[in-house]
Copies of this chain bind each other. A is one copy, B any other.
Amino acid sequence: MADLLGRPLRVTVWNEFVQEKSDPKVQAIYPAGIHAVVADALREHLAGQVTTRLATLDQDEHGLTREVLDTTDVLVWWGHLAHDRVSDDVVDRVASRVLRGMGLVVLHSGHFSKIFRRLMGTSCRLRWREGNDRELVWTVKPSHPISLGVPSPIIIPQQEMYGEFFDIPTPDELIFVSTFSGGEVFRSGCCFYRGHGRVFYFSPGDQDYPVYHHPDIRRVLANGVAWAASDRATLLEDYAPEYCPDHWFEPKAEAEPGENDHGVHPVG
């Protein structure tokens, strides 16, 4: 997509960044935060095609000001304990930006984030277990760009179990389905089209295991970001209901620049 846009893809990686500062076990795996490791994976696989920024909960406006979002092509989201501390205003802003074309990659426990639930419209509930499960990530859509370059199955030696029923709308594209040692199954790689934007949910990754250091998982992160990026150089304006008089779409014989636009009225 970098060539379509004629510039590198601008990615912002957001993390609540809580447990890495408070939990020694997590700190040992992700000393600079999960977001730093995810951004590193993107640069590793999309070198020269991507620029990355970091943003966290405790920054002003959670680091997701209008200026930041207006220059973000794809936003990556990781959250777990602090979903409720994300302000509704920021969620509104992110949701609007997604509907106008920004890509969104939601990771693991982000299934319960305000932004993901907002865009899905469902409870996003699932079954779970902290244990000693091994996760196998199977590809069920092998022609999809997100599955490029990874084996089927990807083997994650230790992972938290996430299991069905996962209360999401049926994904527009189902890429990965995982099994766990305990016998459970989970739709672990799901693509959604929402408005003009694309959303990729990917469940592997937990603060207690070094999943984002796993080479195949890092490849999927990069593939997912590349897929979620719009191929449109500029995003749309805010949505508004559009009143369309008769013949609004006809070419005008002698149109002045802009004259072909049609007015916008309250919805009928």
Q: Which A residues are within 8 Å of any B CB, using their own CB?
A: 3-4, 95, 99, 101, 109, 112, 118-123, 125-131, 134, 136, 138-145, 148, 152-153, 155, 160-161, 163-167, 169-170, 172-174, 177-179, 181-185, 187, 192-198, 230-232, 239-247, 249-251, 267-268
A243 in complex: contacting residue of B128, B166, B173, B245, CB < 8 Å: B128
Contact A182 B230 (CB under 8 A): no
Q: A130-B268, A140-B165 are in contact. List 14 more A-B contacts (CB 8 A).
A: A95-B121, A109-B267, A109-B268, A119-B121, A121-B121, A125-B242, A127-B242, A128-B241, A128-B268, A129-B268, A142-B196, A152-B165, A170-B173, A179-B183
Bound Cα distance from A247 to B195, whole angstroms: 36
Q: Is the CB of B101 within 8 A of A143?
A: yes
**Contact with A174, one of B112, B138, B153, B170 (Cβ below 8 angstroms):** B170
B195 touching A163 by the CB < 8 A rule? no
Contact check, B99 vs A167: say whether CB atoms are below 8 A apart.
Answer: yes
Cβ contact within 8 Å between A177 and B164: yes
Residues from chain B with a CB closer than 8 A to the CB of A267 are 109, 112, 128
A99 to B124, CA, bound (A): 10
- Expressed in whole angstroms, the minimum distance between the Cβ of A47 and any Cβ of chain B is 13
B129, B148, B179, B195: which contacts A232 (Cβ < 8 A)?
B148
Whether A129 contacts B245 in the complex (CB less than 8 A), given A187-B140, A194-B121, A198-B143, comes out as yes
Nearest-neighbour CB distance to chain B for A109, whole angstroms, equals 7
Q: How far is the CB of A194 from chain B (nearest CB, A)?
A: 5
State A142–B232 Cα separation when bound (angstroms). 10
User: Nearest CB to that of A236 among chain B residues?
Assistant: B142
Inter-chain contact B126/A241, CB cutoff 8 Å:
yes
Task: Report the bound CA distance from A197 to B249 in whole Å.
Answer: 36
Q: Which residues of B are found within 8 Å of A184, using beta-carbon distances?
A: 138, 179, 244
Contacts of A3 in B (CB 8 A): 3
A187 vs B177: C-alpha distance in the bound complex, in angstroms? Answer: 9
**CB pair B123 A121 closer than 8 Å:** no
23 contacts between A and B (CB under 8 A): A95-B121, A99-B122, A120-B121, A122-B194, A122-B195, A126-B241, A128-B244, A128-B268, A131-B246, A136-B185, A138-B163, A140-B187, A141-B193, A143-B195, A143-B196, A148-B231, A152-B165, A153-B183, A167-B195, A167-B239, A172-B173, A179-B183, A182-B247
Q: Which residues of B contact A131 (CB under 8 A)?
A: 245-246
| A123 cross-chain contacts in B, Cβ below 8 A | 99, 195, 239
